[in-house]
């Protein structure tokens, strides 16, 4: 009794509701997805912590923090190690896409795919109107437009930040066949795009997934892989409704 009372004081209402109702949960992300997400998360934190003190090397504390990491050289090793982990995380995703297409013979252009479609544009438009109080909340499919952007931005970042990072890692090698000024461009792109990625993750991604009042304090789906029936129906309505037509597959996806 005391326990439930105190927890209802501390926990937001929707979490208490979740605790009380018998939960029906479904798998949204499999182990492969979750591991690759975890790798991305850890490696990006490592990448940011190890090199932002260099980018903002004249800031207060940059030197202290660098020394805590064992100096600029050591921070560089952490940075490169993290970059490799990030690469593995991305590769895991590509392998999964290959598996879906080649083995499972699934189309990656369907409504439950992460590939953008015209509907994402109209969803965005409608969502903006919804913010202004002038429309209903859009009904999303398996992936919302911002989730697709989150996902694809990683590959965009990997191409630009990863590519330029290799140039900075092995400048003498690349300078054998490229003009030296390319390294200046690489440094610029690496630094600015990293700022973009960090600025995006720390505000937009964190807010969209965790800090929104209806999700606060944390959205566990990406870590546990499980989504409750209630959340599924609310956040990915179209997919949920489509699933109702396929009870066998729905049962398969249920968490036992």
Partner 1 sequence: MCSHLSRLVLIGLAALGLLLSACSGAAPPTASTVQTWYIDPVRFQRGAHAGLQCADCHTAISLGEMSAGHPNPDRVTQDAVATFDYTACRRCHPQEYDAYMHGVHAEVASGVRANQTDNPAPTCGHCHSPHYNPPNRTRAELIASQVATCGQCHGKATETYLQNYHGKAAANLGDTSSAACTDCHGAHTVVSLKSADKALEVCQTCHPDASVNMTGFLIHAQETVPAPAAPHAGESMLLFVTKVLLTILVVGVLGFFYAHTFIWFIRSAHNRMCGS
Nearer to partner 1, 92 or 196 (CB): 196
Burial of 123 (0-12, 13-18, 19+ CB in 10 A): buried
Nearer to partner 1, 134 or 256 (CB): 134
How far is CA 112 from each of CA 69, 155, 209, 243, 249, rounded to the nearest angstrom? 43, 19, 19, 11, 14
With CB under 5 to 8 Å by kind, the binding choice for 178 among partner 1, ligand HEC, none is partner 1
- Position 171 contacts ligand HEC (CB under 6 A): yes
- Position 81 contacts ligand HEC (CB under 6 A): no
Interacting residue with ligand HEC among 153, 183, 196, 229 (CB under 6 A):
183
**Interface segment toward partner 1; rule CB under 8 A; list 1-9, 21-29, 42-50, 180-188:** 180-188
Long-range contacts from 67-76, C-beta under 8 angstroms, 24+ separation: 75/50, 75/51, 76/50, 76/51
Nearer to partner 1, 178 or 222 (CB): 178
- The dihedral built from the CA positions of residue 90, 91, 94 and 100, taken in this order, carries a sign that is negative
Give, rounded to a whole angstrom, the gap between the first and last alpha carbons of the chain: 29
With CB under 5 to 8 Å by kind, the binding choice for 17 among partner 1, ligand HEC, none is none
- Position 217 contacts partner 1 (CB under 8 A): no
Rounded distance, CA 150 to CA 116, Å?
A: 12
Q: Are 183 and 174 in contact (CB under 8 A)?
A: yes
Interacting residue with partner 1 among 58, 109, 247, 248 (CB under 8 A):
58
x-or-dash string of contact with ligand HEC, 30-69, rule CB under 6 A: ----------------------------------------
With CB under 5 to 8 Å by kind, the binding choice for 7 among partner 1, ligand HEC, none is none
Q: Which 3 state secondary structure label does DSSP give 228?
A: strand
Rounded distance, CA 153 to CA 197, Å?
A: 8
- Position 203 contacts partner 1 (CB under 8 A): yes
- Position 187 contacts ligand HEC (CB under 6 A): yes
- Which DSSP string do the residues of 5-70 spell out, in sequence order? HHHHHHS-HHHHHHHHSPPPEEESS-HHHHHHHHHHHHHHHHHHHHHHHHHTTTSTTHHHHHHHTT
CB of 77 to partner 1, least distance (A): 13
x-or-dash string of contact with partner 1, 102-141, rule CB under 8 A: -------------------------xx-xxxx--------
Interacting residue with ligand HEC among 12, 46, 76, 116 (CB under 6 A):
76
Positions in the binding site for ligand HEC (CB under 6 A): 76, 168, 171, 183, 187
């Amino acid at each position: 009794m005391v326990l439930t009372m105190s927890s209802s004081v501390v926990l937001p209402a929707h979490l208490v509701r979740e605790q009380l109702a018998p939960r029906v949960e479904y798998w949204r992300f499999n182990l492969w997805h979750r591991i690759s997400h975890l790798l991305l998360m850890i490696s990006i934190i490592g990448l940011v912590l190890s090199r932002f003190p260099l980018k903002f090397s004249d800031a207060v504390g940059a030197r202290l923090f660098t020394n805590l990491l064992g100096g600029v050289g050591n921070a560089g090793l952490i940075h490169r190690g993290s970059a490799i982990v990030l690469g593995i995380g991305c590769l895991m995703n590509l392998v999964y896409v290959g598996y879906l297409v080649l083995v499972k013979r699934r189309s990656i252009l369907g409504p439950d795919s992460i590939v953008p479609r015209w509907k994402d544009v109209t969803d965005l438009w409608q969502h903006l109107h919804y913010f202004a109080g002038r429309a209903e909340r859009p009904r999303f499919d398996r992936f919302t437009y911002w989730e697709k952007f989150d996902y694809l931005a990683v590959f965009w970042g990997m191409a630009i930040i990863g590519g330029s990072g290799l140039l900075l890692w092995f400048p003498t090698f690349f300078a054998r066949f490229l003009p030296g000024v390319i390294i200046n461009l690489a440094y610029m792109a690496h630094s600015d795009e990293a700022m973009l990625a960090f600025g995006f993750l720390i505000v937009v991604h964190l807010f969209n997934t965790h800090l929104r009042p209806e999700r606060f304090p944390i959205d566990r789906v990406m870590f546990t892989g499980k989504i409750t029936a209630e959340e599924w129906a609310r956040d990915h309505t179209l997919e949920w409704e489509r699933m109702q037509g396929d009870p066998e597959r729905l049962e398969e996806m249920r968490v036992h």
